Chains A and B, each alone.
Chain A
Amino acid sequence: MLELQPSDFDAIRLSLKVATSATLLSTPLGIGVAYLLVHTRIPGKSIIEGIVNLPLVLPPVVVGYLLLVLFGRRGLIGSWLMEYNIQVIFTLTGAIIASSVVGFPLLVRSIRLGMESIDPSYRRAARTLGASAWGAFFTVTLPLSGKAVFAGMTLMFARSLGEFGATIILAGNIPGVTQTIPLAIYEYTSTPGGDRMAMMLCLVSILLSFIVLLISGAASRSLDRK
Chain B
Amino acid sequence: MQLAVSIRKKLGTFHFAAEFDLIGQRIGLFGPSGSGKSTLMHLLAGLLRPDSGSIRLDSTVLFDSTRGINLRPEQRRIGVVFQHSHLFPHMNVRRNLLYGWRRIPESDRHFEPESIIEVLHLGHLLDRGVNLLSGGERQRVALGRTLLSCPRLILMDEPLSGLDESLKFQIMPYLNTVFSRFGIPLLFISHSLLEMRLMTEQVLVVDHGEIKRRIVTEELAQSAWGAPGQAYVNLLRLGRPQPQGDLWRYQWGDAGLVLTEHAEQEENIFELDARDILLFKRHPEATSARNLLSCTVRKLFTVGNRVRVELQCGTQPLIVEIVPESMRELGLEENKEVVAVIKASAFRGLL
Contact = CB atoms under 8 A, between A and B. Distances in A.
A, B: real partners: yes
Interface of A: 119, 121-122, 124-133, 135, 139-140, 143-144, 146, 226
20 contacts: A119-B86, A124-B45, A125-B88, A127-B73, A127-B74, A128-B47, A128-B74, A128-B78, A128-B80, A129-B74, A129-B79, A129-B99, A129-B103, A129-B149, A130-B77, A130-B149, A133-B72, A143-B90, A226-B90, A226-B129
Contacts of B90: 143-144, 146, 226
Contacts of B72: 127, 132-133
A126 B86 CA distance: 9
Contacts of B86: 119, 121-122, 124-125
Interface residues of B, number: 24
Contacts of B88: 122, 125-126, 139-140, 144
Contacts of A128: 45-47, 73-74, 78-80, 146, 149
A7 B241 CA distance: 91
B197 interface: no
Contacts of A146: 90
B245 to A, nearest CB: 52
A140 B100 CA distance: 13
Given A127-B74, A131-B74, A121 B84 contact: yes
Contacts, number: 66
Nearest to B150: A130
A125 B41 CA distance: 13
Contacts of B84: 121
A130 B104 contact: yes
B77 A124 contact: no
Contacts of A135: 74, 103
Nearest to B42: A124
Contacts of A131: 74, 99, 103
Nearest to A144: B90
Nearest to A118: B89
B82 interface: yes
Interface of B: 45-47, 72-74, 77-80, 82, 84, 86, 88-90, 99-100, 103-104, 129, 145-146, 149
Given A124-B47, A139-B99, 8 more contacts: A119-B86, A121-B84, A121-B86, A128-B45, A128-B79, A129-B146, A133-B72, A144-B90
A215 B179 CA distance: 50
Contacts of B129: 226
A130 B108 CA distance: 12
Contacts of A139: 88, 99
Given A122-B88, A226-B90, A130 B82 contact: no
Contacts of B73: 124, 127-128
A126 B78 contact: no
B80 A125 contact: yes
Given A121-B82, A121-B86, A129 B47 contact: no
B141 to A, nearest CB: 12
A223 to B, nearest CB: 9
B89 A130 contact: no
A124 B149 CA distance: 14
Contacts of A130: 74, 77, 100, 103-104, 149
Nearest to B77: A130
Nearest to A128: B80
Nearest to B48: A124
A125 B155 CA distance: 12
Contacts of A132: 72, 74
B89 A144 contact: yes
Nearest to A136: B74
A143 B73 CA distance: 21
Nearest to B78: A128
B100 A129 contact: yes
B184 to A, nearest CB: 14
